[in-house]
Amino acid sequence: MTAIVFMDTETTGLSPDDHIWEWAAVRREEDDSETGYHCFVEHDLAKAKALPEFFRADHDARYDPTGALDLADFVELFSGALVGQPHVIGAVPNFDTERLARILAYYDVPPMWHYHLKDIENLAIGYLLGRASMGDVDAGLALGQQDDSDALSRACGVEPPTTERHTAMGDVRWAMALYDAISGGGL
- How far is residue 80 CA from its own chain's centroid? 17
Write down which residue in 76, 106, 136 finishes a domain: 106
How would DSSP label each residue in 115-153?
S--EEHHHHHHHHHHHHHHTTSS-HHHHHHTTT-HHHHH
Task: Report which residue type is found at 41.
Answer: V
By the 8 A CB rule, do 63 and 21 touch?
yes
Is residue 63 one of the residues assigned to a domain?
yes
Is residue 111 one of the residues assigned to a domain?
no
Is residue 48 one of the residues assigned to a domain?
yes
Tell me the helices (H) and strands (E) count for the chain, helix number first: 8, 5
- Indicate whether 36 and 126 sit together in one domain: no
Give the pLDDT of residue 187: 47
How would DSSP label each residue in 41-62?
B---HHHHTTS-HHHHHHHHHH
Give the pLDDT of residue 1: 65
Is residue 112 one of the residues assigned to a domain?
no
Can you give the pTM of this predicted structure? 0.92
User: For every one of its 187 residues, what pLDDT tens digit does the chain have, with 9 covering 90 and above?
Assistant: 689 999 999 999 999 899 999 999 999 999 999 999 999 999 999 999 999 999 999 999 999 999 999 999 999 999 999 999 999 999 999 999 999 999 999 999 999 999 999 999 999 988 988 888 888 877 676 677 777 889 889 989 999 988 888 899 999 999 999 999 999 865 4
Is residue 46 one of the residues assigned to a domain?
yes
By the 8 A CB rule, do 151 and 145 touch?
yes
By the 8 A CB rule, do 8 and 168 touch?
yes
Write down which residue in 106, 133, 162 finishes a domain: 106
Domains held by the chain: number: 2
- Indicate whether 146 and 173 sit together in one domain: yes
Structural domain containing residue 139: 120-183
- Indicate whether 13 and 93 sit together in one domain: yes
Give the pLDDT of residue 140: 73
- Indicate whether 126 and 98 sit together in one domain: no
Is residue 93 one of the residues assigned to a domain?
yes
Write down which residue in 106, 136, 165 finishes a domain: 106
Give the pLDDT of residue 184: 83
CATH number at 68 reads 3.30.420.10
Give the pLDDT of residue 185: 65
- Indicate whether 55 and 90 sit together in one domain: yes
- Indicate whether 61 and 87 sit together in one domain: yes
Is residue 113 one of the residues assigned to a domain?
no
Give the pLDDT of residue 29: 96
- Indicate whether 100 and 128 sit together in one domain: no
- Indicate whether 31 and 75 sit together in one domain: yes
